[in-house]
Amino acid sequence: MATTAFWPVYNHLKETIDYAENPDKTIERKYVDEDLYKTLQYAENSEKTDETMYVSAINCPKQKAYEYMMRTKRRFHESGKIVGYHGYQSFAAGEVTPEEAHQIGIETAKRMWGGQYEVVVTTHLNTGHLHNHFVANSTSFVTGKKFRNQIKDHLRFRDISDDVCLEHNKSVLKDAPFRGGEKGSYWVHKNGGKTHRDILKEDMENCLYEAYSVKDLIRRLNAIGYECDFNPKHEHWTVRAADWDRAVRIDKLGYTKDRLNKEFDGHKLWGHSFNAVGFYLLEHPIYKPKIYPVNKLLKDMEYELDHANGAGAAAAALVAILFLIMITIIQLTREQDDYKPRTPGLRKLITEAPKIEQEYRLLIDNNISSMQELFDYHDSLENQIKALEAERQKLRNKIRRCDNTEEEIQLKQQAKDITKKLTPLREQNRITDRIERRAPELQRMLVLERGLELQAYTQQKNQRNYDRSR
């Protein structure tokens, strides 16, 4: 059986190819791109591949794979951060010979990338499990377009690998973690986050623990921002939040009608009289918000939100305020056990509190209040990074040509010093990227939460007026 994966190569394509082919003997120095070079170097390392017996290339000569990949990038003026993709295909111990593994790798690469991209395929023999490495250019030599790297591409890579293995009478690993319902949540869980389904499952557990009937469950879910379609005539019951594109079938999360009925049986009342229900709700009350923080906090930016022109326009002017409000909400959830945002999407954002706090700290430390100021700061960071990388590359070029040991040591130390400067700049650059992506989502969540707060406040006010009039 074969397992597969691939990942983007950021600025180090050269090293990956060099690992594969030893490009010191085949590549002109003027074409050097460090990341791509290192990736190829790793893939084609002769100590792992039995010299060049198990090194092949598709759509380019294997001795000049790096040169051809860079030529494609120059031809289409492509200079993005992702310079290539590095993948592997690993086989069970003893299942394939080196020749079979390499042939399976070539066929897999051709079906995955062969019509559009230059690819190097190598078979490593240095471990108990034979495995192939793939280094693919991120830029198509046909159209100049970038490889998209979507979840469906990883699924397709595995499916292609399975098909080729079956054609060679090799086993495949069925129902691997990257299949079915997990495909959309793979990267979120890999980074320690939660999906909207995870949040729904937590909310379902909490509500179901207290609910005594279907109607009671619906009321409890409604109170925390969900719309329910639990029509007895419908085969599948669904739940939806206002910020979701579509509803979720709860039986897909394990909440079948039989499971719900068993839970309700465990909360049986002594009859369903008004008094019995009343006593039960006193002991197990439905959530009612006691505070409305978002509505209060957003009043300061009400005019800008109401007059925003286009997506993210308000966030463009008030990005620091948005993050300040989010930080305040996070603190409230920590300090008050009875406070819970009504929007599931906002509760999901709270699970990313450490990152949001890090993002807010960057805004404060650099006195950034608007999106335009953030864009300017981002440009400044990237210019600093590029300048330092160019300076370091010059030092590394000198190191390659240096014949003096003492001078080489000094040059290497200078290069290390630059790397130390680059590390915090790159981290700030990543945080800035996150802020730019998060700000419009955060604006949308807060506006939606304000609406739900106003709705809850109005309902409670009407109920109090009704009770007084009785």
Residues 413 and 382 in one domain: yes
Question: What gap in Å lies between CA 220 and CA 148, rounded to an integer?
Answer: 41
Tell me the mean pLDDT in the region 67-82. 86
Q: Looking at the domain assignment, is residue 29 inside a domain? A: yes
Single residue among 228, 257, 283 that ends a domain in this structure: 283
How many other C-beta atoms lie within 10 A of the C-beta of residue 78? 17
Q: pLDDT class for 181, splitting at 50, 70, 90?
A: very low
Q: Which range is least confidently modeled, 92-101, 372-381, 401-410, 428-437?
A: 92-101
> Same domain, yes or no, for 326 and 370?
yes
- Tokens (6 digits) for 99: 């020749």
Q: What is the token pair recorded at 288?
A: 């009612």
Compute the distance between CA of residue 179 and CA of residue 170 in angstroms, rounded to an integer: 20
Q: Residue 168 domain-assigned?
A: yes
Reported residue count of the chain is 470
Dihedral sign (CA 109, 111, 112, 117) = positive
Q: What is the pLDDT of residues 190-208, one digit of tens each?
A: 666 788 888 888 888 888 8
Contact 120, 18 (CB under 8 A): no
pLDDT of 303 reads: 58
pTM: 0.56
Same domain, 314 and 454: yes
Give 23-71 pLDDT, tens digit per residue: 333 233 333 345 566 666 656 565 555 444 688 999 999 888 988 999 9
| Confidence at residue 180, expressed as pLDDT on a 0 to 100 scale | 43
Q: Which of 283, 313, 340 is the last residue of a domain?
A: 283
Q: Are residues 144 and 29 part of one domain? A: yes
Q: Assess whether 63 and 136 both reside in one domain.
A: yes
Amino acid 238 reads T
pLDDT in tens, 313-322: 444 447 888 8
Q: Which one has a higher pLDDT value, 175 or 231?
A: 231
Pairing of strands 82-91, 2-10: antiparallel
Distance between CA atoms of residues 233 and 244, nearest Å: 24
Q: Number of folded domains in the chain?
A: 3
The pLDDT mean for the chain works out to 79
Q: Tell which of 254, 283, 312 closes a domain.
A: 283
Q: How far is CA 74 from the centre of its chain?
A: 29
223 lies in which domain range? 196-283
Q: What is the mean pLDDT of residues 399-409?
A: 89
Residue with more model confidence, 35 or 146:
146
Q: What are phi and psi of 182, to 5 degrees?
A: -85, -10
Q: What is the CATH number of the domain that holds 58?
A: 3.30.930.30
| Beta-bridge partner residues of 137 | 84
| 281 and 270 Cβ atoms separated by less than 8 Å | no
Least confident window among 158-162, 261-265, 327-331: 261-265
Which residues lie closer than 8 Å to 440 by C-beta, 6 or more apart? 311, 312, 315
In a domain, 167, yes or no: yes
Q: Is residue 466 part of a domain?
A: no
